[in-house]
Amino acid sequence: MNTIDKKAITTIRTLSIDAVEQANSGHPGLPLGTAPLAYTLWDKVMQHNPKNPNWVNRDRFILSAGHGSALLYSLLHLTGYDLPLEEVKAFRQLDSKTPGHPEYGHTPGVEATTGPLGHGFAMGVGMAIAETALAAKFNQPDFPIIDHYTYALVSDGDLMEGVSAEAASLAGTMQLGKLIYLYDDNNITIEGTTDIAFTENVQARFEAYGWQVLRVNDSEDLVALINCIELAKQETAKPSLIIVKTHIGFASPKQDSPAAHGEPLGKDAIITTKQALGVADLTPFYIPSEVQEYFAERLKVHAEQEQTWQELFDKYAKQYPTQAQELQEQLQGKLPANLATSLSQLFIDKTSSATRDASGEILQLLAKNIPALIGGSADLGPSNKTLLKGLGDFSAQDRTGRNLHFGVREHATGTILNGIALHGGFIPYGATFLVFVDFMRPALRLAALMGIHSIFVLTHDSIAVGEDGPTHQPIEHAMSLRIIPNLDVLRPADALETAAAWHLAVSNKRPVSLLLTRQKLPVLAAYQTQIASGVAKGAYKLGEELNPDITILASGSEVHLALAGAELLKTTGIKAQVVSMPCWEYFEQQTAAYKSTVIPNHIPTMAIEAGVTLGWSKYTKNHEHILGIDTFGASGPGDKVYAKFGFTAQAVAELAKKILKK
């Protein structure tokens, strides 16, 4: 290791531990142990331009072990990203650009929000899929326009999490050769040494997944590390895991102990550590001038990398103008102007359709009109109706296929979708049964936190699933998704609402979940005009009942129940205004004036949904005004299960009468 490399690595280490110390909070052990790995990647290996963090052909780096965020912030500052030293000094402080775990969209240069272990690992798989698919579609001989790698720094904890196992297995199957992970093998967890819970042969496990596994026995050996990365690049048919023997808390009094993991070293230990590293100036946040000068010079190299690529792209655009324009439009997420009109024509002649079936038809149209649309199911494609006909399967043999087969891996499905969305160039969707969304819930939460364009298709949305019984009948799931901030949850009532919901899902560039039925539902053709504008508002009136006595809110399949109940009430002289409420989130964004016209305060409101009653009193003002289900379901034909738990037109009418009598 030459002098400037050593000083640069030492500076990364000292900035990181100073940030943790000043915050009196954080994780100094990982930055001390892995600074050589991160420095080698960022300075010697990766193509990136700190002055343009969004350069499309940059290599991606994910700090999957997000608790070591001080390492990433030190790197970002030193290498020239827009992260001033004052922000590093404000580590973990309110409103700083250096939060406790890296947050996508908050700090320039952060590629993904990490912290929940295993997620960075799995999102990297999604990024590698996106790179590979874009390259297959747009690259031409002598024009490798899309040609970059996905790197991650992963920890023992990442490899223990089940989601990383799911994603690693799929990455090996797909032969994602441009996926290269560095494994911080330090033998320490929070509770002690790894042998108390993690004794497996990691190398054998990953080789069994279909990965190339390489080893570096000394984390301070940059030459060995670079050689391994080069070997990883040469292996085009396998992702690579480079196991690097590191020392948590390197050079500190807490080296190789759990105490180095998640608490400040302490002022005395900071001094001891800096002295052990050969630092002459013990001033907090000290950066040697030669290190500053070195990284300033390296900015020119990184700028030249992008400039060289830009020159290549300009030549590509002249020789292949159609492809160049399509690539730019796909990266921008451009949609055809007539999409809403095309969707509205799909179900003109339909009288009934399960919303999952309608969704399947919609997907075929969307895929033809949106080249960026890509996705699949967690081995439920025929049931979820998510297979794109005639568009091939993405695989090791065909990188142009647009159907993704995730296997029975719901958690990895969600995280890989997030990785594809983060990479850019695609609108990804992934599907499973609504009841199994619990397996991927952490991925939905991260998608919402990052505000990215991941679409989650969740079918078999209620007890009307029927014969499969309570294990497959979602009860609490719709409501549990609604409580995730920044996640749009749409439960459409028919094929027309489903078309409108899909249009919003691809247009809004936000995370969205679509909750769809297994059973057939009538098409609300009489309300087509209202549906076209109403779904985007979250709730709208079906028809216009003059001077109604009661408002009946419903979502999804229960909208038809509400309409039937309203007809029964009409025979008794009671006028009910039915409101379809496919999306709470959209409704809450409307003006107070609009909301009061849909749910007026001067008459009572009741709500119907084949799920938990919790939450609906927000609109009914009275929990007793809700027709729902707060128990598990039962096995039997769907219509009979539906009726068993009180979802009948008669029950709707009786509840309305009861409310009006009070």
Residues belonging to the active site: 410
Among the listed residues 499, 215, 228, 148, the one whose alpha carbon sits nearest the alpha carbon of residue 357 = 499
Under 8 Å between Cβ of 514 and 508: no
Beta strand pairing status for 550-554 and 576-580?
parallel
Q: For residue 97, what are the contacts with CB-CB under 8 A and spacing of at least 6? A: 83, 87, 90, 106, 107, 108
Q: For residue 162, what are the contacts with CB-CB under 8 A and spacing of at least 6? A: 118, 411
Q: Is the CA virtual torsion 139, 144, 145, 146 positive or negative?
A: positive
3-state secondary structure 72-83: HHHHHHHHCCCC
Among the listed residues 495, 461, 489, the one whose alpha carbon sits nearest the alpha carbon of residue 476 = 461
CA distance 578 to 543: 8
CA dihedral 79, 90, 121, 177 (to 10 degrees): -10
Token duo for residue 120: 């960075």
Strands (E) in 495-640, as ranges, are 512-515, 520-522, 540-541, 550-554, 576-580, 605-608, 626-627
For helices 437-450 and 410-423, give the axis angle rounded to 10 degrees.
20
* Neighbour count for residue 287 (Cβ, 10 Å): 19
CA distance 656 to 662: 10
Strand partners, 551: 577, 605
* Neighbour count for residue 380 (Cβ, 10 Å): 20
CA distance 357 to 348: 15
CA distance 154 to 174: 20
Strand partners, 245: 185
